[in-house]
Amino acid sequence: MSALTEINSPNTDISESVSPENGQVNPIVKTTFTVEEIQKLLPHRYPFALVDNIVDYVPGQKAVGVKNVTFNEPHFQGHFPGRPVMPGVLIVEAMAQVGGIVLSQLPDVEQGLWMFAGIDKVKFRRPVVPGDRLLMTTELLWVKRRRFGKMQASAEVDGQKACEGELMFSMVD
């Protein structure tokens, strides 16, 4: 996946600043991403691009992303007529895409496409409906052999947990 090359390089999301106290050069790590920057990292496009922006990013550890849920999304036509509810599988996919931001930028991992390898302990706590702002947090638990990863993910709306679970990923060639 060549789209990862541009953002994944060390020069792209880390710049330098000079400390006024000691004059040393300190790296500044990018902590937010716009939708355009997310599209450079992830292959997903409409209607499956489910992250509008990243509001907090800690390299190699976690990311927090936002999905603004709107009535215009295609799945609401049939899920459910008269009572639109975001499908649970799309909530899980949105959490995984936030996790993809962390995985796509790991320093010692080859670039490629991360895909689901498993989904465990997922629970849905409340419905997600048009007008909601879904705040998703993913934390990296481990990476093995630079090809397999596991993350703890959660999604909330207005401070209430909507979904949580463990997501496993595998790098595909």
Decide if 13 is inside a domain: no
Those residues whose C-beta lies under 8 Å from the C-beta of residue 80, and which sit 6 or more positions away, are none
Ranking 12-16, 18-22, 76-80 by mean pLDDT, the lowest is 12-16
Rounded to two decimals, the pTM is 0.85
pLDDT digits (tens, 9 = 90+) for 116-171: 999 999 999 999 999 999 999 999 999 998 899 999 999 999 999 999 999 999 99
pLDDT in tens, 52-77: 999 999 999 999 999 999 999 999 99
Domain count, the chain: 1
* Per-residue pLDDT, 135: 98
Q: Is residue 156 part of a domain?
A: yes
Residue 41 lies inside a defined structural domain of this protein: yes
Catalytic residue among 44, 79, 126, 147: 79
Helix (H, G, I), strand (E, B) or coil at 12: helix
Is 116 a member of any domain? yes
Q: Residue 52's domain is classified under what CATH number? A: 3.10.129.10
Percent of the chain with pLDDT over 90: 76
**Separation of alpha carbons 120 and 76, rounded Å:** 26
Q: For 59-159, where are the E strands, in sequence order?
A: 62-68, 113-124, 133-144, 148-157
> Is residue 12 included in any domain, yes or no?
no
Q: Which domain holds residue 118?
A: 31-172
Residue with tokens 């007008």: 131
Q: Is 79 a catalytic residue?
A: yes
Question: Nearest Cα to 6, choosing from 29, 49, 36?
Answer: 36
* Average per-residue pLDDT for the chain: 88
Q: Which residues contact 6 (CB under 8 A, 6 or more apart)?
A: 12, 40
Supply the pLDDT for residue 2: 30
Assess whether pLDDT exceeds 60 at residue 1.
Answer: no
Residue 26 located in a structural domain: no
